[in-house]
Each structure stands twice: as C-alpha cells, then as structure tokens.
Amino acid sequence: MTDRALSVVRAGALTTVQDLGRPGHAHLGVPRSGALDEPAHRLANRLVGNPASAATLETTLTGCAVRLRAATTVAVTGAACPVTVDGRPVPWGAPLHVLAGAVLEAGPATHGVRCYLAFAGGIATEPVLGSRAADLLSGLGPDPLADHAVLPLGVPYGPSVGADAVPHAGPAAELVLPFLPGPRDAWFTADGLRTLTTGRFRVSAATNRIGLRTEGPALERAQDGELPSEGMPLGALQVPPNGLPVLFLHDHPTTGGYPVVGVVPERFLAPAAQAAPGTPVRFVRIGRRSGRSTHAR
C-alpha cells in the first residue's frame, strides 16, 4: 500500500494544521479556530482538487519544509514566498506534482505572514468536534508541527482544476478594519471613540492566532469597573485596561470581561492574517453607536 503521508523536515516558527474550523461550539467554551486567511486556504485546496473543507498547513513568517512519502499534487498560497522542490525553484500559487521522497519547502514570507500548503487528499489527522484544525487556546486538534513529525494524507478527491492566474494583491501597506460599534462602546468617552478612528495604530509583535494586538494611543474610558464575563464573537475589538484594542481572531476566548468597543465583520478579517508587525492599522466605523446602557453591572 502506498504510504500517503508527509514527514516534517523543518517545522518553522509556527506551522499548524487548519481547515474551516469548528464553529457552533462557543457554548462549550470552544473557539472556532480554522485558517486565518480563509480565501488563501480555499484557493490552495482548489488548486489541488480538494474541497474547501480539506485541511492544509498554515505557516507563520518562516515557512516550513516537508518530505512527501508518496507522489502528491501540492500548492502553496497565502503570503508570497520562495517555493522549492529538492532545492529547485518551482511556482508559487500553482499545482505541482511532487514525487515520492522529494522535499517541498515554502521559504520565509517575503510579503505577508502566513502561507498555506495544500496536498491532494488533505491532511488526514483525526478530527476533533468535526474539525482537524489546531486550536492554540484550547489545545484541541493536532499539535503545532515539530521536526520529524509524520502527518497522514487522505485519498485524493479528484484531478487538480488548476488556474490560469492566481489573484494576489499582497499585504496592504495599511490594514483597514471596518467595524460596527458596540456592544460596549458607551464605556468609552467621545474622545476615546474619536481616538479609535483617528489614532495612529500599528500591529504589535505580540499578535498571534488568538488576537491581533495593537500599539498606539490608548482609548479613554468613560467609567471604571469591569463587566461580568460575556460572549465574545469572532472579530470583537476588546479593549483591556491598557486601552489598546485587540482584534479577536479564530482562536480567541469565547467569553471575556473587558468591554468590546466594536466588532469587525468576518468578511474583513482575512487581511489581518497577513499583516506583519509594524503594519499601520486604521479603524473605520461602518455603523451607528449601539446606544447600550453605560452602567456597569
């Protein structure tokens, strides 16, 4: 029987198995998880003939290298990076037929942060709550990749559909995050809310899959005290005591007690996955203030 698997030659700074996540379990305290740059994940799967639900590898900044134990069609998307097979340059953003024993390497990202490596048949680790995604907060799913680890591959779904061209705008010079105000925007002064939309923010080096942290001016609070824990949606802009907004990403906690000044709709989140530390951030309000009670409970 063909050994449909890959072995990890170089794990990189943080490489995880990701799919479309496990939505619908927040009441159990389980985050959604899943690929941060979902369009790039979907494109990689499409290029190798997989459904969007198949699991890929998501790398962070430094890429990774794997040895294929069986001949497999592969594709690399997401952040721009050099791609090689046994040290020879091959195309990024295109389906590649890699022979058994060859080493596929996605090098360090040259533009962006996260690359997606898709393999025909998908990564076939054991699902947990219906998903193979690694969740860094709860610990569900497979561990982040380590050198010499072996991951199984599934049976190919069908031939690669390929693509004449792969759109890639690259990471923007400025990360623009449209947000809907509330539910706790009334916990901030008018000056604090003005700071959110006019202040000069940038992506912090402390950013991870749990949240995009910012550096910049602090938002002024209208009142002291904290909220009892309440539900936290994907895209929430939570403001901790230091006054600097944190954008909750796919591995975020499902509850929290710091006020949420706004929520970035999911359709605007993918660019956050590719925003490197130091990238300027601009928050743009796209709705009215929530009008919720200003009283602490």
Q: Are 38 and 58 in contact (CB under 8 A)?
A: no
Q: Does the pLDDT value for residue 174 go beyond 80?
A: yes
In a domain, 168, yes or no: no
- What is the rounded CA–CA span in Å between residue 12 and residue 109? 11
> Among residues of the chain, what percentage have pLDDT more than 90?
85
Residue 227 shares a structural domain with residue 103: no
Give the pLDDT mean for 159-163: 72
Domain boundary among 137, 152, 167: 152
Q: Residue 289: what pLDDT?
A: 62
Give the pLDDT mean for 68-74: 97
pLDDT band at 293 (very low <50, low <70, confident <90, very high): very low
pLDDT band at 223 (very low <50, low <70, confident <90, very high): confident
In a domain, 279, yes or no: yes
Residue 144 shares a structural domain with residue 33: yes
Residue 15 shares a structural domain with residue 135: yes
In a domain, 189, yes or no: yes
Over residues 235-290, the pLDDT tens digits come to 999 999 999 999 999 999 999 999 999 999 999 999 999 999 999 999 999 977 65
Concatenating the DSSP letter of every residue in 212-258 gives EEEESPPPPBSS-S-PPPEE--TTEEE--TT---EEE-TT--SEESS
Which has more pLDDT, 170 or 85?
85
Averaged pLDDT of the chain: 93
Residue 133 shares a structural domain with residue 61: yes
In a domain, 187, yes or no: yes
Give the pLDDT mean for 119-145: 96
- What is the rounded CA–CA span in Å between residue 50 and residue 286? 36
- What is the rounded CA–CA span in Å between residue 40 and residue 168? 9
Residue 89 shares a structural domain with residue 202: no
Residue 185 shares a structural domain with residue 102: no
> H helices of the chain, where?
38-47, 190-198, 270-273
For tokens 């009142």, what's the residue?
Answer: 223
Residue 9 shares a structural domain with residue 148: yes
Residue 235 shares a structural domain with residue 102: no
Residue 145 shares a structural domain with residue 181: no
CATH number (domain holding residue 279): 2.40.100.10
Q: Residue 4: what pLDDT?
A: 96
Domain boundary among 120, 152, 184: 152
In a domain, 31, yes or no: yes
Residue 256 shares a structural domain with residue 185: yes
Over residues 15-63, the pLDDT tens digits come to 999 999 999 988 888 999 999 999 999 999 999 999 999 999 999 999 9
Residue 197, CB-side half-sphere exposure with 13 Å CA sphere:
17
Residue 178, CB-side half-sphere exposure with 13 Å CA sphere:
8
Q: Residue 2: what pLDDT?
A: 63
In a domain, 159, yes or no: no
Q: What is the pTM of this model?
A: 0.93
Q: Which residues pair with 231 in a beta bridge?
A: 255
Residue 91 shares a structural domain with residue 212: no
Residue 51 shares a structural domain with residue 148: yes
In a domain, 157, yes or no: no
Q: How many domains does the chain have?
A: 2
Q: Which residues pair with 256 in a beta bridge?
A: 230
In a domain, 259, yes or no: yes
Whole domain around residue 89: which residue ranges?
A: 5-152
Q: Residue 291: what pLDDT?
A: 52
